[in-house]
Structure 1
Amino acid sequence: MIEPNCKKIGVVFIHGFTGNTDTWINSRGERFSEMLLTEDQINKEFQFFEFDYYTQVIDVFKSAAVQNLKKLLNKIPFVSFDTKIQKNKPIRYLSNLLNTYLRTELDDFDEVILVAHSMGGLIAKDHILNYVPGEGPKPIGYISMAVPHKGSIGALLLAPTANTNAKEMQPLSEYSDGINSEWTERKDELPKCVYLIATYDECVPEVSSLPYRVKTSDKFTLNHDHTSICKPESKKDLSFKRVKKFLEEISYEKTMTSVASLEYSGDENNFNKEIFVIKLILSEIGEMGVADAKASFFHAEIISKAARRDDKEHLADLQIKVLSLYRQAYNSNRTKPADEIFNAVHKELRDQDEKLLACGVKYINFMHKGGLLHQLANKNDRTIIWDKDITDDSIRDMMS
């Protein structure tokens, strides 16, 4: 069993406008993060945090004038008021607070996933767009839960309050339009994203829940309203299932990337009894060719064993294409010495690496594709051969 990097990934929940840490608690007092931690694999690979910040519809009661008055009243015996001055701050400023939080509380983490509700999603977007590599954990995932990417109807109703954040979240506001435009322009640079839409959301309509035309695979409409979407009542709730699934996909991708990056360190006798190696030796391919074939076979084997079903299908499809390229190159060079055929086949594979052999699975590289060829060669048949004069009997004799 190949173990991936055991360092945990941070997951930070970010509440929305007028919210707090209670945003993530359901009617039974269960926190979203606590429900996720009951899943063994998630508990093993992730650590959860909640970013809290000040947000109120009206903040006059926390203003300096009122707080100074409370300080005077505190001089009266048995009177004690909280005199901390607070006020609503622009989303860009809240993004700076999030940046400080991540660089302090998650200083030991290399990567972070941001799970954000409503305005919290705009704070997270601002942070992601302004993230500087090396300064705090790298954002590798973003879960948007009822986020007003194109503005909120509710923000229009709060216009008379002159609330800073309500102004920013109004449809077509300068801030809302600007951050969404940049998010759209840079979508190919963004971390893995998923967008959760609440069917009965009276604050954020569906058209605003998506920043641009999102792939069907990255958006989900759930049977929730604006607040219930972040308070799943049970593990059967699709809101819980989608977040769980997202974390599992991140975990799988990290595992496979770790597996794919393993170095082949076998000694010169490794795989010597494998049929693909015997074919190479009998064909007098040469030590370097045999060594490269062993390494690529090793990488293809560990990837094939660790891959989940859908990725195994990608590998099977690639193997068919690899076989087709082998046959074309072999037939074009069959009169040449075996080592020249070997080199011609691998040259064709390299030339087609980003063309016919292009693969959407990020962790699969050229080494694995070459290994798929040698997996096919690892049978006592003539599917993959390098010298037409090599017989099944000669292979069996060398195996014995």
Structure 2
Amino acid sequence: MLDFLHKSKASKSLVIFVHGLQGSENTWLNASGKSFPSLLIQDEEIKRNFDFAYFNYYTSLFNIPEIVKKYTGFFKGLLGKPHAKVDKNLHINEVSDLLSTYLGEMTHQYDSLILVCHSLGGLIAKSLIVHHSGDAAVKKIKLIFSLAVPHNGSHLADIGERVLSNVQIKNLMPLNDDVNKINHLWISNKDFNPKIIYFQGKMDDIVVGASSVGFDANKPEIKFCDDDHISIAKPQSASALVCISVANALLGFVKNQAINELSNQEAADLSELEKQDFVLKLIIADVHSNLIANAKQRFYDAERVRRVLIQMDMNKEMDFLYSAIGQIYTDAFSEALAGKIKDGDELLGHVHRRIGEENLNLLKSISEITFLHKIGMVHQLANVNEDIWWAREHSIKTLEEYKAKKSE
């Protein structure tokens, strides 16, 4: 079942904790009785932007009590006596079926879902993604935290399967056919999978390092923690490494969402930019009209992002980006002065190309600030910086002369 433990009217994102074998809500409780979600909610921004819930499903090491209850209930039913529902261990694909239905029925109000998964819970999450990818609710899953998940099996499950006949233990065995199929589908589904962050406990003897990181067509993001298989789900305080890492990722998600929402806003009326200095500098440099139109759109996109960064108090990140982009322009203009770049069209194209090349290196930033936004940033700089020109012979004098001529 899906049990909510924190809800607010304003939140559009839900974080769901999915336990593993023999787990429950207690999976997330530390020795002081504080839960993982409660430690995260200590951060006011996380509390304001996320709701929290547990997904609980039946899991038990032993099947004998299930058999006894099953036939006891059967005979009670024959005698017309009331009896409780008989629970049993389900295959991970069957548990993911249940989770898909809960999400479909109980998460209509959310735009984004995030899963925090421990051990077997991570395999349930992957099964959910690959087998229910067409579901509207599953498409809302944007991020998965994989805490000590045996993506490639656990050798301890080999021993457990010899002692206990348990389908969920069988799911945890190395080279298990069902899990291999999920891994194969996960790789095939790479363009549609949500982002996954792998957490590896350095003290974990149950899920070894190689298994804690799944097969992935994309470069995996891995966090290392000083935890064992159990403690990784029970941080002792908000300053525990696993708690800090999850909290930082959630805060980063908030920033990315805000920028993404801004990027999806309606396009501006670009005609209002005609008198901006960055446009006039392009015109007097005889830059092609198509490039000018592109520069206008990128300028507007970058302006929206700039306002969000200011609201989020990300001035350091913003200053770094503008400084680095300004340096790319300066280097290019030096080449223009040396005669290696012949005109404004070529100079503009060169700067745009260099920004694209450095997008994931020198200009690396939060993912939602794309290289298109960064292209716009060079035009923002051109609007306020008297030293940015797209032709060698132009200066503030030629710009003022052009303005005066246009106003006549």
Question: Following the alignment from structure 1 to structure 2, what is the Cα–Cα distance between the partners of residues 342 and 367?
Answer: 19
**1:40 match:** 44
Q: Is 1:376–1:384's contact at 8 Å kept on the other side of the alignment?
A: no
**2:137 match:** 136
**2:158 match:** 156
Query: 2:368 matched to 1:363?
Result: yes
Q: Is 1:329–1:344's contact at 8 Å kept on the other side of the alignment?
A: no
**1:225 match:** 228
Q: Is 2:282–2:344's contact at 8 Å kept on the other side of the alignment?
A: no
Q: Is 2:287–2:345's contact at 8 Å kept on the other side of the alignment?
A: no
Q: Is 2:62–2:166's contact at 8 Å kept on the other side of the alignment?
A: yes
3-state SS of 1:113 partner: strand
Q: What are the equivalent positions in structure 2 for 1:1-400 lying under 5 Å apart?
A: 8-63=12-67, 64-69=70-75, 83-138=84-139, 139-159=141-161, 160-184=163-187, 186-187=189-190, 189-212=192-215, 218-263=221-266, 265=268, 268=271, 272=275, 274-280=276-282, 293-304=295-306, 306-307=308-309, 308=314, 309=316, 313=320, 316-321=323-328, 345=347, 352=353, 356=357, 359=360, 362-365=367-370, 367-379=372-384, 381-386=386-391, 388=393, 390-395=394-399
**2:7 match:** none
TM-score, length basis structure 1:
0.80
Which residue identity does 2:63 align to in structure 1?
D
| Aligned pairs, number | 381
Q: What's the CA shift for 1:297?
A: 2.5
Q: What's the CA shift for 1:233?
A: 1.4
Unaligned residue ranges in structure 2 (runs of 5+): 1-9
Q: What's the CA shift for 1:168?
A: 1.7
Change (3 A) 1:36 1:205: same
Change (3 A) 1:271 1:23: farther
Q: Is 1:60–1:66's contact at 8 Å kept on the other side of the alignment?
A: no
Cα displacement string for residues 315-354 of structure 1 (whole angstroms, at most 9, x for unaligned residues): 64455445556776895785xxxxxx5555555667x489
Question: Please, what is the CA RMSD of the aligned residues?
Answer: 3.7
Question: Following the alignment from structure 2 to structure 1, what is the Cα–Cα distance between the partners of residues 119 and 389?
Answer: 57
Q: Is 1:304–1:312's contact at 8 Å kept on the other side of the alignment?
A: no
TM-score, length basis structure 2:
0.78
Cα displacement string for residues 45-71 of structure 1 (whole angstroms, at most 9, x for unaligned residues): 111111000011113323320323566
Which residue identity does 1:158 align to in structure 2?
G
Which residue identity does 1:29 align to in structure 2?
G
Q: What's the CA shift for 1:194?
A: 1.2
